[in-house]
């Protein structure tokens, strides 16, 4: 049983937009890796349906070194469908709505928890294929900002790509900068670069090794 919750971690399933999967398929993937069940606590399907994974009070298996004090929420999607499996922000409006409702619910249950993306806790990951920091700031100020944030996502993502391009040229082996509050500085919200790997094992694959 998990005794502390410091992070609410957003993931992606590292699957193309056209792949309509959920708890059943992801559980199979994780069992193939030796897990007794799915590593996430929630999965949000392409149509916005939220499915329950591990019981919320149990330790998950979704981010190395932080499973014992985090909740994992997975959005289905996150890589391109052109065969390169490049990290891609391809989530649906229904998924964004459910994600906000889920994060709101979780943050009310765990008010001291910081909302992060997988890549915020592991610099070697691109998951969940978008910058979570605007969600952290919207959460801290007012969840009514969610619709405004969604409507302005194109501009935010353009800014994110430009900033990522600048910062990635300066990144070396310094590791990840873990956010400590729900409204981070630029350095803690910058994008991490990633590479495509096999569907369902790609962006998040090594995180499942830590099941403690």
Catalytic residue numbers read 11, 40, 118, 125, 127
Query: How many Å is the Cα radius of gyration of the chain?
Result: 16
Give the β-pairing of 7-12 and 70-75: parallel
Token pair 């390169």: residue: 84
Angle at 24 between CA 104 and CA 36, to 5 degrees: 90
Q: Which residue has the tokens 């009070």?
A: 57
Distance CA 116, CA 199 (A): 23
Distance of CA 169 to the CA centre of its chain: 24
């Amino acid at each position: 049983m998990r005794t502390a919750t410091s992070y609410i971690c957003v993931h992606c399933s590292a699957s193309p937009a056209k792949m309509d999967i959920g708890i059943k398929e992801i559980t199979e993937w994780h069992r193939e890796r030796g897990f007794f069940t799915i590593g996430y606590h929630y999965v949000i399907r392409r149509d916005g349906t939220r499915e329950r994974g591990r019981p919320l009070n149990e330790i998950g298996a979704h981010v190395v070194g932080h499973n014992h004090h985090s909740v994992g929420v997975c959005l289905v999607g996150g890589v391109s469908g052109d065969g390169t499996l490049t990290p891609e922000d391809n989530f649906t409006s229904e998924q964004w709505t459910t994600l906000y409702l889920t994060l709101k619910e979780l943050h009310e249950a765990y008010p001291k928890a910081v909302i992060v993306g997988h890549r915020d806790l592991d610099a070697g990951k691109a998951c969940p294929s978008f910058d979570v920091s605007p969600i952290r700031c919207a959460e801290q100020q007012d969840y009514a900002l969610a619709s405004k944030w969604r409507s302005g996502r194109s501009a935010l993502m353009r800014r994110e790509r430009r900033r990522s391009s600048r910062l990635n040229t300066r990144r070396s082996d310094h590791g990840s900068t873990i956010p400590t509050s729900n409204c981070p500085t630029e350095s803690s919200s910058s994008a991490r670069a990633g590479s495509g790997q096999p569907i369902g094992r790609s962006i998040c694959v090594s995180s499942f090794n830590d099941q403690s």
